[in-house]
């Protein structure tokens, strides 16, 4: 059994952070203008699933107010993805938050969180729930957050579509989410620098670690399947990034061979940008060595 090959369309690498985001503004990779062609290019390359971040800052620039233009644009993206046979998994938090929410304390302020985050989840579920295949609400839980935000999110989304609880494989207590998810998702660690010399020994060591994290997580929650919701080779050299991705594929295949179900693996970035130059497709939309290693031919 193989796994589905997914690509992560994050805000940071596609649109860039908005002016009204706590981390903004930043440049994207042109996806704003060329997203119909970009989706088609990813589908042609062999991508079966997309993890698309519904950018909270753009969609809700003011408390309780939706931006109709951005709402229509994201609806078009999801519809186009479905039309060409790719499953869309919606992410609701991926690094940045609206500046107005940050000004109220963000996730660190229990009162602000309780007031605004559930409303955002409800709005997204209402507007996109019939169109997406499933949810990866948090690319990763915000730094320092408890599992409370996750459990509240699960309560809202439960039963609508499959929900993947994405965790940092090294730090989040997996058992704390047991019973509050359909699938457990992992963000696998990468610990070398963008310009480091990644030798065979480093790759082999990382591969063993990734495989063990996948197996241990599946055992801890007695999961029939897990997902890899976040993996980025994080290297500036395209050939080296391709070797890293090839090692990841080997780790996942070995885990599957040992009886662990892996439903889908999302690789980031889908398309290169100035900040993350090595994607499945580069900034000119040409296939990279990472694409060759990851996508079936």
Kindly list the domain boundaries of the chain, sorted by start residue: 4-294
Highest mean pLDDT among 99-103, 161-165, 184-188, 231-235: 99-103
Give residue-wise pLDDT tens across range 60-84: 999 989 999 999 999 999 999 999 9
Q: 56 vs 20, 29, 169, CA distance in Å?
A: 10, 19, 25
pLDDT at residue 203 tops 70: yes
Mean pLDDT of 88-93: 96
**Cβ-proximal residues to 56 (8 Å cutoff; 6+ apart), any chain:** 92, 93, 96, 97, 98, 101, 120
To the nearest 10 degrees (0 to 180), the angle between helices 68-83 and 31-45 is 20
Confidence of residue 219 (pLDDT cuts 50, 70, 90): confident
Buried b (16+ CB within 10 A) or exposed e, 102-119: beeebbeeeebbeebbee
Mean pLDDT of 87-102: 95
Give residue-wise pLDDT tens across range 97-125: 999 999 999 988 889 988 999 999 999 99
pLDDT at residue 289 tops 90: yes
The CATH code belonging to domain 4-294 is: 3.20.20.80
């Amino acid at each position: 059994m193989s796994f589905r090959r997914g690509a992560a369309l994050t805000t940071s690498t596609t649109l860039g952070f908005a002016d009204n985001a706590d981390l903004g503004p930043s440049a994207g990779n042109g996806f704003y203008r060329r997203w119909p062609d970009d989706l088609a290019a990813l589908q042609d390359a062999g991508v079966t699933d997309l993890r698309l971040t519904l950018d909270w800052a753009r969609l809700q620039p003011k408390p309780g107010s939706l931006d109709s233009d951005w709402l229509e644009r994201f609806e078009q993206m999801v519809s186009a993805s479905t039309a060409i046979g790719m499953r869309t998994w919606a992410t609701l938090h991926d690094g940045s938050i609206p500046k107005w929410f940050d000004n109220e304390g963000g996730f660190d302020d229990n009162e602000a969180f309780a007031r605004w985050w559930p409303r955002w989840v409800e709005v997204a579920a209402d507007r996109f729930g019939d169109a997406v295949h499933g949810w990866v609400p948090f690319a990763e839980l915000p730094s320092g957050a408890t599992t409370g935000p996750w459990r509240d999110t699960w309560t809202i989304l439960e039963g609508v579509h499959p929900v993947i609880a994405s965790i940092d494989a090294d730090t989040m207590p997996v058992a704390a989410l047991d019973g509050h998810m359909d699938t457990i998702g992992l963000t696998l660690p990468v610990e070398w620098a963008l310009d480091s010399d990644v030798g065979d020994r480093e790759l082999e060591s990382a591969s063993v670690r990734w495989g063990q994290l996948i197996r241990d997580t599946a055992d801890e929650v007695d999961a029939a399947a897990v997902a890899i919701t976040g993996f980025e080779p994080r290297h500036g050299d395209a050939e080296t990034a391709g070797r890293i991705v090839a090692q990841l594929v080997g780790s996942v295949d070995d885990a599957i061979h040992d009886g662990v179900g892996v439903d889908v693996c999302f690789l980031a970035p889908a398309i290169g940008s100035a900040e993350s130059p090595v994607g499945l497709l580069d900034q000119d939309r040409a296939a990279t060595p990472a694409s060759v290693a990851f996508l079936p031919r």
